[in-house]
Structure 1
Amino acid sequence: MNFDLGLDGKVAIVTGGAMGLGKGIAAGLASLGARVAIGDVNEQIGQQTAQEINAKGGNVEFFDLDVTDDGQFQDFVEHVVKRFKRIDILVNNAGIAAKSNCIDMQVADWRRIIDVNLTGMWIGSRAVAPVMIKQKSGKIINMCSMFGFTAMPGLSAYAASKGGVNQLTKALALELIEHNINVNAVAPAYIATELTANMRNDPERYKDIMRRTPIGRLGTIGEVVGPVVFLVSDLANFMVGQTMLVDGGWNAW
């Protein structure tokens, strides 16, 4: 059996790749020889991330991208194809979160979370799929969450969006596998990134999270990048419509 990941020279798009998990995924793919296009709304940090990865031998370019803008995503895909000639991997990573009880949340905040976390993945997949269909190959990874399977008070919008990602992954997988395009997802628990800083600085909340996490700690970015790399590699060619939980045992209760 050949355990070569087969990523050298592949072209990957990572949305929300300026920081956090997206940055880690972009760096991980680049370290294995992939050419990476980062799409993010944060241009300054995104450019810095690209420069940082390239300084370590990577091949990364940054593009300004709002994943909720269909026209902008279409233009982004056209630019990437013109630049790199193909797209082998799409990692739909861009996402946002806000903690608020349903009765206190503004409708605009609900819609923004759904738009970025769920509709943005649909828009991105819809834009990239025709390129992969023409190539007769591709890998699409949607960043889900353990909250696609469970919930906590104050996360109605976020949990709903990630539950949708879980189902979207299955539906897209069934639509695209006949074109040799594998669609799967990764569902992390709380990971030590910029987005969890407030939770880590709140002793009571942090204690509660740890109580619910059998492994007894937050995950690291690398522990999420590994499953993503696996799913986009040739080693995962028989995986279709699956969501891999990377949650430290949260859903094992």
Structure 2
Amino acid sequence: MVSELFDLSGRVALVTGSSRGIGNVVATGLAEAGATVLLNGRDRQRVFDARDALRAAVPQATCEGVCFDVTDETAVAESVAEINARHGGIDILVNNAGFQHRESMFDLSVEDWETVLRTDLTSAFIVGRTVARGMVHRGNGKIINVCSVQTELARPSIAPYAAAKGALRNLTRAMTAEWAGHGLQINGIAPGYIATELTSTLVADPDFSDWVTGRTPAGRWGDTGDLVGPAVFLASDASSFVNGQVVFVDGGMTAVV
């Protein structure tokens, strides 16, 4: 049955940066599809509050909180080893952790540049490689890297973010080149302008919001729920021959000039 292709029952999903925003909504969608979900973040209280909220929203879900810094290679290795010991492995990894820093390149410090790249790009390499070792050993696994319209486009004042997200697309391809032959599917989701807690000031800015809706063929901001279907698709057997691709969920923004 077609519905069975999207069923994630019995699978373990780790979603980084999932105590709020896009990561939290995607994690909730995976839980609704049957996956055991591991929420991640650095703020322990926020992670466990998110865990409790997800359990309340999806009573049938199995959900845990795992707190570690995705940019710390030692912490990642220790946490993934603990998860593997407890659950027998991670079947689905969503590399979602990231943040934005807005500043002119003339004013941007090298430290801030490197912080954005380490959080938005290097963390996907660190966590992805660590988790993939177990996936390769078992002969299957799904990795979803959360990219952006800035994977394809750029705007003033967000150079490190655009650089990181552009590189994340090719990291997705590199992972595919090395691991697809071992039964893994590695793909990306590239959200357009999505209304979240972190973008609330932009949504509230009439000029910027008018630019977004005018520039987007769909004529609106995206909603976090718009990302759930693509995420479940890429995490499930429905995408078993999809590899190295980035799915733009942007209302058509990158399709037009």
- Which of the five TM-score ranges fits, normalised by the shorter chain? over 0.9
Could you tell me whether the CA contact under 8 Å between 1:21 and 1:225 is conserved in 2?
A: no
Could you tell me whether the CA contact under 8 Å between 2:21 and 2:197 is conserved in 1?
A: yes
Shift of 1:120: 0.3
What RMSD over aligned residues (CA atoms) do the two structures have, in Å? Answer: 1.1
Shift of 1:83: 1.4
Once residues 189 and 235 of structure 2 are traced to their aligned partners in structure 1, the CA distance between those partners, rounded to angstroms, is 11
Q: Which residue is equivalent to 1:46?
A: 47
The correspondence of residues 186-197 of structure 1 with structure 2, limited to 5 A, is 186-197=189-200
1:140 aligns with 2:154: no
Q: Which residue is equivalent to 1:13?
A: 14
Could you tell me whether the CA contact under 8 Å between 1:3 and 1:235 is conserved in 2?
A: no
Deviations 1:14-73 (A, max 9, x none): 000100011001111111111111121122111111011112322111111111000101
Deviations 1:99-146 (A, max 9, x none): 211112122111111000000000011110111011110000000001
Unaligned 5+ runs, structure 2 = none
1:25 aligns with 2:26: yes
One-letter amino acid of the counterpart of residue 159, structure 2: S
* SS of structure 2 residue aligned to 1:8: coil
TM-score (structure 1 length as normaliser): 0.97
2:90 maps to which of 80, 87, 90: 87
Give structure 1 regions of 4+ aligned residues with deviation exceeding 2 angstroms: none
The correspondence of residues 1-253 of structure 1 with structure 2, limited to 5 A, is 2-4=2-4, 5-55=6-56, 56-57=58-59, 58-253=61-256
TM-score (structure 2 length as normaliser): 0.96
Deviations 1:158-201 (A, max 9, x none): 10000010110011011101110000000011111111111112
Shift of 1:2: 3.7
Shift of 1:209: 2.0
One-letter amino acid of the counterpart of residue 40, structure 1: G
Deviations 1:55-99 (A, max 9, x none): 232211111111100010111111111111121000000010122
One-letter amino acid of the counterpart of residue 42, structure 1: D
* SS of structure 2 residue aligned to 1:150: coil
Once residues 214 and 52 of structure 1 are traced to their aligned partners in structure 2, the CA distance between those partners, rounded to angstroms, is 34
Once residues 181 and 88 of structure 1 are traced to their aligned partners in structure 2, the CA distance between those partners, rounded to angstroms, is 10
Unaligned 5+ runs, structure 1 = none
